[in-house]
Amino acid sequence: MKTFNVYPLMPITPVKAQGSYLWDQHNKKYLDLYGGHAVISIGHSHPHYVKKITDQLNNLAFYSNSVQNPLQEELAFKLGELSGCNNYSLFLSNSGAEANENALKLASFHNGRKKVIAFNKSFHGRTSLAVAATNDTSIQAKVNEHEVIFLPLNDSQKFLDTINDSICAVIIEGIQGVGGINIPTIEFLNLLRKKCHEHGVVLILDEVQSGYGRSGKFFAHQYAFIEFDMITVAKGMGNGFPVAGTLIAPHFESKYGMLGTTFGGNHLACAASIAVLDVIKDENLIERSFEIGEKWMKHLKTLPGIKEVRGKGLMIGLEFEFPIADLKNALNNEFNILVGTASNKNIIRLLPALTVKQEDINLFNTALEQILLNQLKPV
């Protein structure tokens, strides 16, 4: 059987990883500043993480959700404590898409409505929202459970013109990742909160990419000091182990049969997720992410040839005046540095492990500067 190839892959086959580094089958070493779409939060193969998963494997390797699993309660407790969302409940699943689908389902159960507002350039996983967002009409579906309305981010007037009592939910990323590191303003988030409240609309915050300390706060939306009805998490939650969660505010009542899952929150996923929270707490990775990110962005803003540097913490976007394909290849092939792209072809995304060392950031800075200076040299 062959694989069904529908997304691009970086031209590297890692066989070993440690901290912020990967090694390929020829023992070539790469600095990983992308972490597999922001998945690597505490660094590759962190010893505490490896031990927790190994111990779990040796005890009870794997079980589906047909039995009691006290690790889920431990995970929920630690997540509540570190995120400050102790009063939310946690429903565990396996991927960001699932976490968002579950949030949308709960929203519909809650107010009996179907229309969802999302924002241009947003990405919420391969959900009905992604199907609605694609420009490819051959893919655009007839199968949407929810009717999706896309609005520009931070356009208060368009939002006010669209919000009404027929809307089921608004879903917004803490910081748009795939769309190119676009940040909702605090004023806009406050407006969403107020208007959703007035119209009985469920406000869902997708922190799948921007959560888990990446932004310099546990959740990126916490810069705005507002409460969301649901928050979704995945990616950095398991540091590579597939796990996701929907955090649900207290005014949603759980009833048997509302949601379900076979593997969500299994013993291994919980062990991995608990290890991640332990390390984030013990190594102060949230504060570290803020400080290192601020310093890094300040430096990046001094480099020639970058149109805009934007982000928070260690979720950084560099926008250039030109498509970055050659720049990315040069970083990859000449300097062995891996970075990410965005739907906008002029943007590089930096999403390193929150444990990334200053010396590794310096390596990147020097490489980028060298490439840019060469590129800008008159011929």
Give the residues lining the site for ligand PLP (CB under 6 A). 37, 95-97, 100, 123-125, 173, 177-178, 206, 208-209, 234
Nearest distance from residue 242's CB to ligand PLP, in Å? 7
Q: State the nearest-atom distance from the C-beta of 175 to ligand PLP, in Å.
A: 9
Minimum distance between the CB of residue 46 and ligand PLP, rounded to whole angstroms? 20
Comparing CA positions, the residue from 250, 264, 153, 172 lying closest to residue 210 is 172
121 and 182 Cβ atoms separated by less than 8 Å: yes
Which C-beta is closer to ligand PLP: that of 113 or that of 214? 214
Planar angle of CA 70, 88, 277, nearest 5 degrees: 55
Question: Minimum Å distance from CB 148 to ligand PLP?
Answer: 14
Identity of the residue, 201 or 208, whose beta carbon is nearer to ligand PLP in the bound complex: 208
The DSSP call for residue 135 is: S
Residue closer to ligand PLP (CB basis): 21 or 123? 123
**Would you say 347 and 319 are in contact if contact means Cβ atoms under 8 Å apart?**
yes
Identity of the residue, 206 or 360, whose beta carbon is nearer to ligand PLP in the bound complex: 206
Q: Provide, rounded to whole angstroms, the least separation between the CB of residue 198 and ligand PLP.
A: 26
Pair of tokens at residue 350: 């930096």
Residue 98: CB minimum distance to ligand PLP, A: 7
State how beta strands 315-320 and 347-350 pair.
antiparallel
Q: Which residue, among 66, 89, 97, has the nearest Cα to 266 in the 3D structure?
A: 66
| Shortest Cβ 367–ligand PLP spacing (Å) | 26
Radius of gyration of the chain (CA): 21
CA 117 – CA 172 distance, rounded (Å): 9
d(CA 129, CA 145): 10
Q: Given the complex with ligand PLP, which of 216 and 371 has the nearer CB atom?
A: 216
Report the alpha-carbon distance of residue 118 to residue 129 in Å, rounded: 8
Report the alpha-carbon distance of residue 126 to residue 139 in Å, rounded: 12
Q: Which is nearer to ligand PLP, 116 or 330 (CB)?
A: 116
Report the nearest approach of ligand PLP to the CB of residue 220 (Å).
Answer: 10
Rounded Cα gap, residues 200 and 113, in angstroms = 10
Q: Report helix, strand or coil for 129.
A: helix
Distance CA 179, CA 97 (A): 16
How many CB atoms are located within 10 Å of the residue 320 CB? 18
* Closer residue to ligand PLP in complex, CB, 101/360: 101
Nearer to ligand PLP, 207 or 360 (CB): 207
Q: In angstroms, what is the minimal distance from the CB of 376 to ligand PLP?
A: 32
Q: By C-alpha distance, which of 323, 296, 322 is closest to 311?
A: 296
Residue with smaller CB distance to ligand PLP, 209 or 336: 209
Report d(CA 337, CA 122) in Å as an integer: 27
